[in-house]
Amino acid sequence: MSTRLTGGCLCGGTRYELTAVPFDVGDCHCVDCRRAAGAPFVTWGTVYRGDFRITQGEVRRVAHANRFRSFAACCGTPLVFEESSEPPAIDVTIASLDDPTPFAPERVIWLEDRLPWVVLDPALPQYRRSSRDG
């Protein structure tokens, strides 16, 4: 059985498809994610680059801090985060999926930047920075 998940932007002008289930799902509280999304944190899920494709519309790719974020060109919805110019895996905004319900966060990262009024789930592993920092 093949996986096919779909998602897109606020106005519907940009659509994408995933051919794999996102893994390493987590809430990021870093300042860059907050500012890029205009939200207190962003929930990301990782997929391999080959498992993501734009099916309609275009994205605007923005470089910042040696990383890349892609937004729907039509309305600005945040869609993708990349650690480098061509990483093997990318992060997709879970809330942009047509059905984000099954993809609850498994961890919380960049707590050193967390806004003090954000309430955390104490059951989730929590990291001061990235969970990859050890």
Q: Which DSSP letter does residue 132 get?
A: G
Q: Where are the domains of the chain?
A: 5-133
Q: Is the pTM of this model over 0.95?
A: no
Check whether 1 has a pLDDT greater than 70: no
**How many beta carbons lie within 10 A of that of residue 104, not counting itself?**
12
pLDDT band per the 50, 70, 90 thresholds, residue 132: low
Closest alpha carbon to 52 in 93, 14, 91, 19: 19
> What superfamily in CATH does domain 5-133 come from?
glutathione-dependent formaldehyde- activating enzyme (gfa) (3.90.1590.10)
**d(C-alpha 14, C-alpha 23), whole Å:** 23
pLDDT band per the 50, 70, 90 thresholds, residue 35: very high
Percent of the chain past pLDDT 90, that is, above it, reads 91
